[in-house]
Amino acid sequence: MAEELRLGIMCGSTLERWQAEALRQALAVEGVRPVVVITQPEQAEGKPGFQHALWRWYVRKRLMSGVLAPVSLPDELATLPRIHASGNITAIRTHAPDVILCFGARALPDDLIALPRNGVWALHAGDPESYPGSIPGFWEMHHHEPVMGVALLRLGGSQGPDRVLEQGWFRTAGHSLPALLEHVLPHAADWMARTCRSIRSGRSKAEGTPLVASDKAHVEPGNAEMLSFLVAGHREVRHIPQHEWNIGILYAPITTLLTERPSLNVRWLPAPGPGQSRETPAGHVVDDRLNVLYCKRNATGNGVISRLRPKRDNVLKRSRTMLENEHDLSYPCVIQHNGQILVLPGSSAGRLDLYRVDEANEALEFVRTILDEPLCAPTLFQHHGRWWLFGTSPSKPDTHLHIFHSPDIEGPWLPHTGNPVKMDVRSARPAGTPFIHQGVLYRPAADDSEGPGHSVALMRILELSPTSFREERVRTIGPIKGSAWSHGTGMLNPVDGMTLVAGRRPMPPVRGSKGRKQRSSSSGKHRDRSPDRDQELEDEDDR
């Protein structure tokens, strides 16, 4: 560990509640010591104008009791020297802060920004690229943005752009503005602490990446904008219809989806039985025959891992249950290793168990537990002589990506030093097995910004090591319009020159009181007629 990290804290007489929590966590980091409080003058409020009256009313009534509520400064600051920010750079320099945490106005003199060797840091509630200096969440919701950003910035002043140290994006839909802020802002509470730990361990110099910010300022909304916002009841929690999932096969390699206008001629299997879903398909080929493992789910029971062996004419016999236990199972990740077909399913058991397909191809046999903690969408693959395991946190399944690595598939597995390596509802959760194209590693990731299972982002991995991770979006696939399963694309999984796809549509109504099936009103060639539905009766091998 490096020598102690000396903090200066720049603030007014109070902090917003979420800021106070961020400061508390930073002060709790081993080897971090606060040395000076830098005070800023309280913002003088002019005479209130009528043009923003509705906004001020909304802030008082709806926002000031939650994460934006003012709270007292932590007791740890009470005995520290206090120096006013204006014209006292020499006095501040005598305390030699390594970092200044700024919780006030960010228009600071350049000599103050340049003083600490690790910079001046500030939390920004909102996407600093599109909504610099904005009111948290309001303009994103007013403009119907699917996501809200939050960032930890290293301020640049007039010497250069601000730099992003940590950043996350979170879904706006399904929330009121107060609920959105209560959901999003606590995610940033540990970012200052994480960066302090990285500096002390020698993993980071808090340099960040340059920010290209919009030059358009977003100020308080006027009464007309607020009236529109209030009348719309902006994004209060709404009813989300139930959906069913099905499996499709694209008879083309997944690499073709990286092109500008890829073919999406997916052949969908007959619809599953009423009230059932086929989710998260993965596959392998045995004796030139495609085997699809997937999560079979009904409306009330746990998911089980089942197998189908579809033919090119889409003829299906009954599925076979390969793994069922007392836990909810999902997302079977298929790995071919040392002549065996291995399967790593997601599980509600709180651990990750590795299985193999038995010799008869009729069941999954337990191999060993490889990780004693849960992951959503666990995705296992080998790259450059090392095994990698990607997945998201069960408490934050759409946003927080975690990585583990090991020299051997059976372990020991070590966490990535940057976990969670990203916080982004647009591309965190795995949605298929990574693949190589022209020497470059890509991975399918779920874009849940418009809702869970909306589309899949194909991400190009730029850096992957035990201490670093970077990726960029190349393409977004789905929803696949013009098909029977056009309401969402949840998976893209490569298998032997083909691509398995998971598609979603609203759940058709159940049978009516007279026994007639109350089907959806869809018509035309994509309508599922009842004889086409796979009734998914008691499992029987489809030899």
Distance of alpha carbon 480 from the chain centroid:
22
CB 462 within 8 A of CB 470: yes
Per cent of the chain over pLDDT 70 is: 88
Distance CA(505)–CA(485), nearest Å, equals 5
Distance CA(163)–CA(36), nearest Å, equals 24
Instruction: Give 495: exposed, middle or buried? Use CB within 10 Å, 0-12, 13-18, 19+.
Output: buried
DSSP β-bridge partners for residue 148: 170
What's the pTM?
0.89
CB 344 within 8 A of CB 377: no
Name the phi and psi angles at 517, rounded to 5. Answer: -80, 125
Three-state SS at 253:
coil
Cis previous bond, 420, omega within 30: yes
Q: Which of 39-48, 119-128, 174-183, 514-523 has the lowest mean pLDDT?
A: 514-523
For the segment 204-216, the average pLDDT, to the nearest whole number, is: 82
Helices (H), 186-236: 191-201, 223-231
Distance CA(106)–CA(142), nearest Å, equals 25
Distance CA(303)–CA(331), nearest Å, equals 10
CB 444 within 8 A of CB 457: yes
CB 58 within 8 A of CB 103: no
Segments making up each domain of the chain, as ranges: 5-231, 243-524
Q: How confident is residue 513, by pLDDT bands cut at 50, 70 and 90?
A: very low
pLDDT given for residue 91 in this prediction? 94
Mean confidence (pLDDT) of the chain: 88
DSSP state letter for 328:
-
For the segment 283-298, the average pLDDT, to the nearest whole number, is: 94
Q: Which of 124-128, 242-246, 383-387 has the lowest mean pLDDT?
A: 124-128
Task: Give the number of other CB atoms < 10 A from CB of residue 373.
Answer: 14
Distance CA(102)–CA(164), nearest Å, equals 15
Is the pLDDT assigned to residue 514 strictly greater than 90? no
- Name the nearest CA neighbour of 290 among 501, 534, 495, 533: 495
Is the pLDDT assigned to residue 543 strictly greater than 50? no
pLDDT given for residue 538 in this prediction? 38
Distance CA(492)–CA(487), nearest Å, equals 15
Q: Could you tell me the CATH superfamily of domain 5-231?
A: Formyl transferase, N-terminal domain (3.40.50.170)
For the segment 341-366, the average pLDDT, to the nearest whole number, is: 97
What is the tens place of the pLDDT at every residue in 38-93? 998 666 555 667 888 998 999 888 888 889 999 999 999 999 999 998 778 999 99
Helices (H), 202-335: 223-231
- CB-based contacts of 31: which residues, under 8 Å, 6+ apart? 1, 2, 3, 4, 5, 200
What is the tens place of the pLDDT at every residue in 445-502? 999 999 999 999 999 999 999 999 999 999 999 999 999 999 999 999 999 999 999 9
pLDDT given for residue 535 in this prediction? 45
Distance CA(456)–CA(186), nearest Å, equals 27
Regarding predicted confidence, which is higher, 11 or 317? 11
The residue assigned the tokens 């022209």 is 438
- Name the nearest CA neighbour of 27 among 11, 4, 54, 45: 4
CB 79 within 8 A of CB 25: no
pLDDT given for residue 517 in this prediction? 44
pLDDT given for residue 135 in this prediction? 80
pLDDT given for residue 45 in this prediction? 57
- Please give the structure tokens belonging to residue 286: 């045995």
pLDDT given for residue 527 in this prediction? 37
DSSP state letter for 87:
T
DSSP β-bridge partners for residue 355: 343, 366
Ramachandran region of residue 46, left (φ > 0), alpha (ψ -120 to 50) or beta?
Answer: beta
What percent of the residues of the chain are helix, what percent strand, and what percent coil, each to the nearest 5? 15, 40, 45
For the segment 219-247, the average pLDDT, to the nearest whole number, is: 78
What is the tens place of the pLDDT at every residue in 434-450? 999 999 999 999 999 99
Three-state SS at 94:
coil
Distance CA(485)–CA(268), nearest Å, equals 8
Name the phi and psi angles at 226, rounded to 5. Answer: -65, -40
Strand-pair category, 14-16 with 70-72: antiparallel
Regarding predicted confidence, which is higher, 233 or 59? 59
Cis previous bond, 412, omega within 30: yes
Q: How confident is residue 378, by pLDDT bands cut at 50, 70 and 90?
A: very high
Distance CA(264)–CA(490), nearest Å, equals 14
CA–CA distances in Å: residue 92 to residues 7, 88, 113, 332: 11, 6, 12, 57
Regarding predicted confidence, which is higher, 264 or 299? 264
Is the pLDDT assigned to residue 231 strictly greater than 90? no
Distance CA(519)–CA(414), nearest Å, equals 50
For the segment 251-273, the average pLDDT, to the nearest whole number, is: 94
Distance CA(248)–CA(251), nearest Å, equals 10
Is the pLDDT assigned to residue 297 strictly greater than 80? yes
pLDDT given for residue 537 in this prediction? 41
Is the pLDDT assigned to residue 130 strictly greater than 80? yes
Distance CA(397)–CA(80), nearest Å, equals 41
Distance CA(104)–CA(85), nearest Å, equals 11
CB 520 within 8 A of CB 506: yes
Q: Tell me which of 2.60.40.420, 3.80.10.10, 3.40.50.970, 2.115.10.20 is the CATH number of domain 243-524.
A: 2.115.10.20
Alpha-carbon Rg of the chain, whole angstroms?
26
For the segment 2-7, the average pLDDT, to the nearest whole number, is: 88
Per cent of the chain over pLDDT 90 is: 70
- Please give the structure tokens belonging to residue 55: 């906004």
For the segment 347-362, the average pLDDT, to the nearest whole number, is: 96
Is the pLDDT assigned to residue 516 strictly greater than 50? no
For the segment 149-170, the average pLDDT, to the nearest whole number, is: 93
Sign of CA dihedral 246, 251, 254, 259: negative
For the segment 518-530, the average pLDDT, to the nearest whole number, is: 37
DSSP β-bridge partners for residue 37: 9, 82
Is the pLDDT assigned to residue 145 strictly greater than 50? yes
- CB-based contacts of 507: which residues, under 8 Å, 6+ apart? 241, 242, 243, 244, 275
Q: How confident is residue 239, by pLDDT bands cut at 50, 70 and 90?
A: low
